[in-house]
A and B are shown apart, each in its own frame.
Chain A
Amino acid sequence: MSYNFKQEMNKPERLAPGHRMCAGCGGTITVRAVLRALHEGDKAVIGNATGCLEVSTFMYPYTAYEDSYIHNAFENAGATMSGVETAYNVLKRKGKIDDTYKFITFGGDGGTYDIGLQSLSGAMERNHDFVYVCYDNGAYMNTGIQRSSATPMYADTTTTPVGSQSNGKMQNRKDLASILAAHDIPYVGQSTLLGNFKDLHTKAEKAIYTEGAAFLNVMAPCPRGWRYPTEDIMEICKLGVETCYWPLFEVDHGKWILNYEPKKKLPIEDFLRPQGRFKHLFKKGNEDLLVQFQEEVDRRWEDLLYRCARD
């Protein structure tokens, strides 16, 4: 199926302007991109874990959603949508509704990697027919840039501050897409905000229209938390992919597929240097930290190549 950027951008917005997310927020761009993948005429219920997105798009008495929307709490977006999707199946079976609905839940990395992981895991294992989209900005941004298990090693956050005795976060980030793939659900995709959005659009459409549980992990930079000039978001995302820090791949019914391999893999410094949260890595004497970071990126990339080659 052909992808026409202009045509897609001319679709009516399902997330109305006027919400209170920051300018250049990767989360909002992700939501709009995913919702564009809904076929016109199909109705949707949008779910949301507590986070920036929730408190900025549904402030009583205003909602930014053209579709039905439910926010419940921080750690239960998966379980909540399980209930909504099940209600849909029952009411449809009993002849009480006859429209076609799709179900899409958004959560940040806090609500997805951490506090909401159990609820997400349960919902995915039960194979409810909905898409869970994680907009991963690598920290608890809503409460003020605290580390999460999605935060990359050495990032400066407010709970892993860089100081005379600290180089930021000490641990590697969790590989959530692999964890979800290990649930053996029909579809897992990893994407980010790139060029004409074809990669994210294609994966979102697949996720929405694949029967059963689907998970999308979308790197969605936060200019405030990552400390780069707001207008550079697309460049930051591109560097994440070109350095193989954030590979584009999907696991379609168990088959691992690499969607993009850079012709020339860029050094990780290119991704880290523009971000204030990694400033300390470029100080004299910290060269070994960059080497370690590169080694971790390489290890994960090789591992991904192996998984994709095996299939």
Chain B
Amino acid sequence: MAIRERLSGNEAISYAIKQVNPDVMPAFPITPSTEIPQYVANYIANGEMDTDFIPVESEHSSMSATVGASAAGARALTATSSCGLALMWEELYVAASNRLPLALCLVNRALSGPININCDHSDSMGARDTGFIQIYAENNQEAYDNFIQAYRISEHKDVRLPIMICQDGFITSHAVENIELLEDDKVKNFVGEYNPENYLLNAKQPMSVGPYAVSNYYMETKMAQNTAMQNAKQVILEVGKEFGEMSGRNYGFFEEYRLEDADYAFVIIGSAAGTSKDAVDKLREQGMKVGLLKLRVFRPFPDIEIAKALSNCKAVAIMDRCEGFRSKGGPLGAEVKAALYDYAKDVTAFNLIYGLGGRDFTVESAEEIFKELAAYVEEGKAFEEYRYVGLRGESYSIARTSKGVTSDVNADRA
């Protein structure tokens, strides 16, 4: 019997950590992820778990110590947000290239500056090419479920890559919602024991970790990582299916919400998918065929699968909670458009930026964008692309119709 509870996202993921009971957790506080090491330290202080917590002096050291613990043969993890992730940047690559299956609980927050403690995806999106698997959650339930699946994916012999379990800062991490928890023994059985093949503390076979590799070897290590990332796709699906059989909650690369017959769709990550689903429901009631693709797995990037799911849409809006500073949108837009270019050229796709630094994204905004997609296709109206949703003042944008670009704000100024 599942356990019904009311928990915040941080409480939920901390509870999952307690149930998984890993060996070592070094961490350094940063809003909004601070509660995670606090909850874990409390569980340990009260004898509810026997993980060793290392209260390190920085995030660089938290990931460094996590790397050390994982290389030694321990199941290890840390948690952070924003600038904390930026400080451990170098270590993310080290963890991935050493093929260490450690976990990082990321609570998404905007990067400085100006200092802002609220949600956007600029932290994890900046780390998208580090070699970490990245899995995102819409709400506390998904954050919990994703963490319970994390080590099954990362430790799989065909994968052996670090994994980042992301949830939206404050919106998910601090909002208390209903949740269904699994029983301890079910979690333990599902996750299993960690028995690494090679590790520093293996008395039978000493090991050296972290070599200097000259040009003759470096490229092969990258291909090995890339192969592992490709292998992760199958493993993520298998683990998601098995988790579904246990919990009744199935997980794949993404969730398709009323997408099957949709003419117009969003591609979106995280908590704003919930907001957008409300807009979808409202517009469906009005007879508009709209839907949504909520991306759960960003690394490995399921490009063919996304293109296939969107292939019957007339126009889609790719919603980025991250700026790419290329005057053409954000990283999700770039990657989804590349997938469509390769596998579904007929689908018109626009890229919009929303929710930076915790800017509110409303059901009304989402409805408006769906209606603009329809106006573009059905009435030939221009669609303002690359703009910031909900910005005060003028937004840089390029207006496109099916006949091409009609106006570029910058070009007009020139």
Contacts and interface: CB of A to CB of B under 8 A. Distances in A.
A249 to B, nearest CB: 27
B209 A87 contact: no
B399 interface: no
A94 B21 CA distance: 12
A87 B76 contact: yes
Contacts of A61: 211, 217
A70 B71 contact: yes
A93 B90 CA distance: 31
Contacts of A96: 73
A90 B203 contact: no
B192 interface: no
Contacts of B212: 54-55, 58-60
B23 A66 contact: no
If over half of B's interface residues share one DSSP class (helix, strand or loop), that class is named, otherwise mixed; here it is mixed
Interface string B106-118: 0000000000000
Interface in B44-94: 50-52, 54-58, 60-62, 64-74, 76, 90-91, 94
Contacts of B62: 79
B214 to A, nearest CB: 7
A91 B61 contact: no
A87 B211 contact: no
A68 interface: yes
Interface in A24-47: 43, 45, 47
A99 B203 contact: yes
B208 interface: yes
Contacts of A119: 57-58, 60-61, 64
B201 A70 contact: no
Most buried by B among A71, A78, A90, A123: A90
A59 B52 contact: no
A19 to B, nearest CB: 11
A87 B69 CA distance: 5
B56 A90 contact: no
A82 B65 contact: yes
Nearest to A64: B208
B174 to A, nearest CB: 28
B26 A58 contact: no
Contacts of B70: 83, 87
A73 B91 CA distance: 8
Given A58-B210, A76-B61, A79-B60, A87 B54 contact: no
A43 B210 contact: no
B2 interface: no
A101 B201 contact: yes
B340 to A, nearest CB: 39
Most buried by B among A63, A71, A84: A84
Contact of A83 (B51, B72, B217): B72
B20 to A, nearest CB: 14
Most buried by A among B73, B200, B209, B217: B200
B411 interface: no
A94 B50 contact: yes
Interface string A195-230: 000000000000000000000000000000000000
Interface in B165-215: 200-203, 206-214
A75 interface: yes
Contacts of B201: 45, 68, 84, 87-88, 91, 97, 99, 101
Given A68-B201, A83-B65, A88 B72 contact: yes
Given A76-B64, A91-B201, A84 B69 contact: yes
Given A60-B211, A84-B200, A90 B61 contact: no
A58 B57 CA distance: 28
A264 B210 CA distance: 47
B161 interface: no
A83 B69 contact: yes
Nearest to B203: A99
B24 interface: yes
B64 A70 contact: no
A122 interface: yes
Contact of A65 (B66, B90, B208): B208
Contact of B58 (A66, A72, A122): A122
Nearest to A128: B54
Contacts of A268: none
Contact of B54 (A58, A66, A86, A88): A86
A78 B62 CA distance: 11
Contacts of A125: 57
A69 interface: yes
Contacts of B74: 83, 86-87, 90-91
Contacts of B51: 90
Most buried by B among A67, A73, A87, A101: A87
B68 A82 contact: yes
Contacts of B217: 60-61
A118 B58 contact: yes
A126 B64 contact: no
Contacts of A84: 68-69, 71-72, 200-201
B61 A122 contact: yes
Nearest to A45: B200
A72 B68 contact: yes
A96 B90 CA distance: 31
Given A80-B64, A81-B68, 10 more contacts: A68-B208, A71-B209, A72-B68, A82-B61, A82-B64, A83-B26, A87-B201, A88-B201, A91-B73, A94-B50
Interface of B: 23-24, 26, 50-52, 54-58, 60-62, 64-74, 76, 90-91, 94, 200-203, 206-214, 217
15 contacts: A58-B212, A59-B213, A60-B213, A65-B208, A66-B206, A69-B208, A72-B67, A72-B94, A73-B94, A76-B61, A76-B64, A90-B52, A97-B73, A99-B201, A119-B60
Top 7 closest pairs, chain A to chain B, by CB: A83-B68, A122-B57, A83-B65, A79-B61, A87-B72, A87-B74, A76-B64
